[in-house]
Structure 1
Amino acid sequence: MTTILFENDNLSLHSVPLDQSEQVVVTFSPRLGAPRPGPAHPNAGFGQEFFRKSGISVFHVVAKWNHWWQLDEMEEVLQAIRDRRGTRALWTYGASMGGAGALMFADRLDAAGAIAMSPQASVDLSRADFEPRWMADRRRIKTFDDRWLDTGLSTPTWLFYDPTHAEDDQHARMIAATAADIHRVPVLFCSHSSMRMLLECGMLSDTIRSVLAGKFDRDAFLRSVRSHRSASSVALTGAARILSSRGSHQRAAALSGKSVALLEAQWHAGQKLDVATATLTLHIHTANLVRARKVEEAAALLAKLRDTPLVAGDFSQQLLQLALLSNNSVELIRLIEQRLTTGNIAGLSFEILMSAINGNRLPPDQILKFHMRNGAKILAADTTGRYAQAIAAKNLDVATTAPQPDAASQAYRIEGDALLTKDNVAFLVGGNHSVLQYVTGKLAPTPTSLATFAGNLAERASIAHGQGIPYLHVIFPDKQSVMTEAFPIRPVHRLGDAYLAPLDAELRPYVLYPADRLRDEQRPPFLPLDTHMTDHGSLAVLRMMLSATGIEADESLTRVERRIVKPRRWPGDLGVKFTPRLFQDGVVLDPDWPVTAFRSPGGFNDGLVDILISPEAAHDRIVLLFGDSFFRMMLQHLSMVFTRVICLRTRFLHPEMVTLIRPDVIYTGNAERYLSNVAADSEAQAFALYPHLRAATDLAMPPEFLAAWRAVTAPRSVYSQRFLHRYTLPRPA
């Protein structure tokens, strides 16, 4: 019989005592998909039925929202358990958020052992700056108290997790660093679902019983996992995700297809499916089919998701992707019109419609009928003008609102690659990236380029977080994406928006596209005759970068802002394109802190190296940048934040340089116009080969640069320590 010992709006404590039990287990509930307000259900305890059948007394700590146990009343709950536990050996147990609770309170309950499935050491960004998940939860938590990480964990701990899952592996490392007696048990390919995978393998109950009985055999467990994981949809999906991140899309689609087949077999057998697991599996399989271009399989999955879905849920975006891939124009139009009945289409739905029209996936007669039924509503809502352009390009003799230059801003001239407004503000409109064609919507990024960007991002995040390194990609907006009102041609299409719209939600936290936020800056973010930002604009972006990666340096950034005072007059990279040359006046950063800079020789872009050493920076850490001139414009800003700043001019992330330099933070970035066609990181040559591949004749490096380059690429060497001691001024006492 269940007795509720404690309950408020945050959590409840349930007791299920069994007289013959020689042990007592305290369980902590996992993270909730949605809050559960109101009175607690007596059977809401985590693992309640399992422990009843096993004859084990149990206390269940049940959360009503995702507070991660950061509550003042936790001591009252723990005391209620202490008062009733008796002399029996006590264990703590939980998964994910529940696993965090099992570890957090094990010592305070004088536990004999703790079992944690895919737990977190902390969700406090000041401790776990690598953790992008659960941001909404963090905003509700007022303060974090994770002192157990500092005092150490003395309770013997069994930790089950997937070491190939970047964030979970980093949490495991943090836990292992504070635990005196820890048994780390890998559950490969489970991603963040170790408990679900063991359940699917038929191993969960026996595993928990063997740990509690002191009979757990790690080697036998691993053998059993290997022999049973082919029967786990979680394992198959996890393996598929790894393959996809490595570019093996065909194999990934095959594995995720097997995972779906397992779920279908269970469904047909009348078994109840876990909604979250099934939904994630179907989402991932859809993405894999799209990446692998599996047309026939896409058509089959489309029919199943539409007619007989395995679980209830919103699969509208997956259905749209599958309809586009399988060239099912009738279904595509039906789905678009279905979404229009509940509101305007936006995001991925709109992008798919544009791909279908511009990519000739819809016959002209279908486009005409669709436009006659829905065109007015879409035109009224589409502020970008892209739909109007797409319809106008089909020559259907129907009314559109095709983009025209803003009548109030027609006074401009174009010389070569540059446009100059009547207010003497210049914009880049030509060059190798066909800027004006993309800005006006006459060109759009290909699906391949969009997928490549997402693939690069996923792989980069995996590389960084696999080593516990915070990571962020920055899309530096083109000037017209921020100064839209000053640009005389309407509407303005932004490549950054096109790439963000189809991006998976799990990848969004790894991208910063600050176009809208820069509009709100008090100081002008862009120079009038340059494609680059002002030093105040670079500072604003740097603040956003640091915030996104959990790095605090407010005092240093204030010092940077106070030093943007040096007057300068120069033409800028756009001013030189006009005849006669045009000049701009501005203020630039004039550092008053000691910083030593080294730059590689050569007049080329790719392969250029900048190294800055700055002893008074806020953080004695290494930041590694892979990007273009926008990063180079903020190097001095960064030198007030990091003692070692290393910038590599390249469009790719080069893993070999991460291995050599061993950075503490990684940023990749590109100017927005470079998104016109994204190349896969797998196409990158070794970074050191850039000058050789360009047939450079003078490859000799100045001794000063060579010394710095040698030091930062072997940071653990004796030479590096001596070099840094020589160039780094002592910190103030």
Structure 2
Amino acid sequence: MLVEGSVINNTLIGKNEWLYLWQGGQRQFDFLTSRSSPSPQSITNFLNNIEDRVKFCQNNDIRYIHIVYPSKPVVMPENLPEFISGEVRSLFKRCYEDFIKKCLTESVLYPLDSLVKEKNSAPVFRQYDTHMTDYGNAIVSREILRHLGENHDPLLFFKSQPQNRIGDLAKMADVKKTVVENALKSISNVDQSWDNRAFLPGNTDNVVIVHNPNSASDKRLLALGDSFLRDGLSSLSTFYRDILYIRSDLFQKDAIALFAPDAIISANAERYMCQISSDSDADGILLKCYGRANYHPSDAYVAAFNAQIGYRAYPKRYQNWAKKIKSLSFEGIGVGEPNNQIDFSDIDNGYMISSGTDPQIIINESMLDKELSYKLIFSIDSQHPGIFQIFYDNENNDKLFKFNEENSIKFDIKNGKNIFECNIPKNRNSNSIRIDPVNFEGYFRINYLTAHLNFCD
């Protein structure tokens, strides 16, 4: 049983089973209750960092903003236990805000007021987690974009879907149950990310690449910060075509030179304001892991990484990589994963090359609800006559994708343009789809694949 006011494994139990990080390495509540304050050197480092970053970005025609993510106890004090609720004050406002020079006020964002206002509409922090909800992340991303001069609302590009979730604080406190949260799912479902976190012993040196071929702009964003900024990448990718996220509290000038961003966001959670380092002590992270015996990122990650850091020096490599991603992206459905019989080495205008007689594209996490029936419409250009086959179900949502002929539809294709439509039934085992575009060696192009609810079924 969770007892209000108790602390279990560094987790503070609040009212109505709301959980808060108690102290942690940053001694969060010591700084939120004025028992401790950051050193004068930390305040000086913060101001000098922001001032130097602003000048650098102005000189290089790059838009810039630094965001301080308000702590959960500051945004959600109403659920703190009584013994401490009246003592909590914003660390940023108490120790930093008055020192920020007038010329820097537009370059530092502390979205406390926006989060407090919006929490009356929907939760902005997760009950069992240190971090914000998807809705909270979208609200902050909207504020970031507005401060960067972009009129864009990420919430318009998502749909809400209830989901059972457990949080990092629940795991720390050994809480066995989940809580229902409204997850935000992309409407287009074609944004992709490549993450090296699984190949690291911890979150140090984490680098994430995000690419959205259907983004609202073709602009590029460099994001430097901790997990709070990382959680907002999905919302930010509704506007930015490419995002390079580096877990770092300091500026990364080598990444700027290679990635060529249009905008830079640096960020930190409020609890990290307890101690700020100087950018003069920064160390490059971008290539830090390569050469380590225990670092083996996937081929897909390496391809995305090389394409992005070669954007300025080797634009053709980036362009070919982006064409490949776009050719496998089907708006409103998802992104396909090709097998080894599909080649993109000579891709042009969306064409792919079949190097065998059984090329396959699998869309694992499609947006097609397995309980509903759909009409699919697709168009394919083919170099030769052959057979197009689509599999709309696999055996018991098998992760090995054991598709079978009974749950498939075949079409004869001719040389040139082909347009087909078919119905797939409801009450399927999974939302997976497999496309076998041709059965020969040669060129082909999938022009589009769309899905519409079949209300007559």
For residues 628 and 414 of structure 1, do their structure 2 counterparts lie closer, same or farther at Cα, with a shift above 3 Å needed? same
- Residue 461 (structure 1) aligned with residue 59 (structure 2): no
Say whether the 8 Å CA contact 1:456–1:681 is kept in structure 2: yes
* Corresponding residue for residue 142 of structure 1: none
User: SS of 2:244's equivalent?
Assistant: strand
> Aligned partners of 2:326 and 2:246: how far apart in 1?
21
Determine the C-alpha separation between the residues in 1 that align with 2:179 and 2:201. Answer: 25
Among candidates 470, 494, 502, match of residue 63 of structure 2: 470
- Specify the code of the residue in structure 1 equivalent to 2:225: G
Equivalent residue number for residue 433 of structure 2: none
Larger Rg: 1
CA–CA distance in 2 between the matches of 1:603 and 1:592?
Answer: 34
Residues of 2 paired with 1:571 and 1:684: CA distance?
A: 35
| Residues 491 and 516 of structure 1: CA distance in aligned 2, closer, same or farther (over 3 Å) | farther
The answer for the alignment partner of 1:494 in structure 2 is: 90
Distance 1:537 1:480 in 2: 15
| Match for residue 299 of structure 2 among 685, 700, 703 | 703
Deviation at 1:582, TM superposition (A): 4.4
2:168 to 566, 570, 573: 573
Identity %: 27
2:239 to 630, 638, 641: 641
Residue equivalent to 2:261: 663
Shift of 1:514: 0.9
Secondary structure at the residue paired with 1:492?
A: coil
Measured against aligned partners, the alpha-carbon deviations of 1:525-568 in whole angstroms (never above 9, x if no partner) come to: 101111100111001101100110101223x53122xx132x22
Residue of 115, 126, 129 corresponding to 1:518: 115
User: Partners in 2 of 1:635 and 1:434 — Cα distance?
Assistant: 27
Select the residue among 105, 116, 137 that pairs with 1:538: 137
Aligned to 1:623: 221
Matches within 5 A, 1:326-725: 411-488=4-81, 489=84, 490-497=86-93, 498-521=95-118, 522-554=121-153, 556-560=154-158, 563-565=159-161, 567-593=162-188, 594-600=190-196, 601-688=199-286, 690-691=288-289, 697-716=293-312, 717=314, 718-725=316-323
Partner amino acid for 1:558? L
Is contact 2:19-2:170 (8 Å) kept? Answer: yes
Higher RCO, 1 or 2 (CA under 8 Å, sep at least 6)?
2
Gapped runs of 5+ residues in structure 1? 1-409
1:592 to partner: Cα distance: 2.8
CA 551–530 in structure 1, closer or farther in 2 if over 3 Å, else same: same
SS class of match (1:607): coil
Q: Secondary structure at the match of 2:218?
A: strand
Q: Which amino acid aligns with 1:496?
A: F
The one-character-per-residue Cα deviations of 1:406-440 (angstroms, maximum 9, x if unpaired) are: xxxx9421112110113111111111001121121
Q: How does 1:227-238 map to 2 (within 5 A)?
A: none
Letter in 2 for 1:440: T
The whole-number CA distance in structure 2 between the counterparts of 1:412 and 1:731 is: 50
Q: Is the 8 A contact 1:613 1:728 kept in 2?
A: no
Q: Give the corresponding residue for 1:275.
A: none
> Does the 8 A contact of 1:617 with 1:643 survive in 2?
yes
- Structure 1 position 636, deviation (Å): 1.5
Q: What secondary structure, in the 3-state scheme, does the structure 1 residue paired with 2:176 have?
A: coil
Q: Secondary structure at the match of 2:138?
A: helix
| Cα separation, 2, equivalents of 1:533 and 1:714 | 33
Alpha-carbon distance in 1 for matches of 2:211, 2:302: 14
Give CA deviations for 1:139-189 in whole Å, capped at 9, x if unaligned.
Answer: xxxxxxxxxxxxxxxxxxxxxxxxxxxxxxxxxxxxxxxxxxxxxxxxxxx
Conserved 8 A contact 2:15-2:80: no
Any stretches of 5+ residues in structure 2 without a counterpart?
A: 332-447, 449-457
Task: Write the letter of the residue equivalent to 1:470.
Answer: R
Query: If each structure's strand is expressed as a fraction of its own residues, which one has the higher value?
Result: 2
User: 1:182-205: per-residue Cα shift (whole Å, max 9, x none)?
Assistant: xxxxxxxxxxxxxxxxxxxxxxxx
Aligned-residue RMSD, C-alpha: 2.1
**Structure 2: how far apart are the matches of 1:456 and 1:604?**
26
The equivalent of 2:369 in structure 1 is none
Post-superposition CA distance 1:17-50 (Å, at most 9, x none): xxxxxxxxxxxxxxxxxxxxxxxxxxxxxxxxxx
* Count of aligned pairs between the two proteins: 318
CA–CA distance in structure 2, aligned partners of residues 422 and 680 of structure 1: 39
Aligned partner of 1:591: which letter? S
**Partner amino acid for 2:300?**
E
One-letter code of the match for 1:574? L
CA distance in 2, matches of 1:457, 1:581: 42
Seen in structure 2, the aligned counterparts of structure 1 residues 689 and 495 have a Cα distance that, compared at 3 Å, is farther
Letter of the structure 2 residue corresponding to residue 598 of structure 1: W
Shift of 1:690: 4.1
Q: Is the Cα contact below 8 Å between 1:416 and 1:430 reproduced in 2? A: no
- Secondary structure of 1:551's counterpart equals coil
1:543 and 1:658 map into 2 onto residues whose CA distance is 23
**Deviation per residue, 1:664-713 (Å, 9 max, x gap):** 11101011101110011111111135437xx9531233211111111111
Alpha-carbon offset, residue 462 of structure 1: 1.4
- Tell me if the contact between 2:114 and 2:139 (Cα under 8 Å) persists in the aligned partners: no
Q: Shift of the alpha carbon at 1:520?
A: 0.6
In 1, Cα distance between the equivalents of 2:21 and 2:155?
30
CA contact (8 A) 1:428 1:574 kept: yes
- Cα distance in 1 for residues equivalent to 2:168 and 2:80: 18
> 1:90 — aligned with what?
none
CA contact (8 A) 1:536 1:564 kept: no
For 2:22 and 2:87, the matched residues in 1 are separated by: 14
Return the alpha-carbon distance in structure 1 between the equivalents of residues 127 and 175 of structure 2.
16
- Look up the equivalent residue of 2:194 and give its one-letter code: F
Question: Which amino acid in structure 2 is aligned with residue 420 of structure 1?
Answer: I
Q: Match of 1:423, SS? A: helix
Task: Evaluate the alpha carbon distance shift between residue 731 and residue 644 of structure 1 in structure 2; reply closer, same or farther with a 3 A threshold.
Answer: farther
Measured in 2, the distance between the counterparts of 1:509 and 1:525 equals 24
* Displacement after TM superposition at 1:505 (Å): 1.0
1:711/1:525 Cα in 2 relative to 1: closer, same or farther (>3 Å)? same
- 1:622–1:643: 8 Å Cα contact kept in structure 2? yes
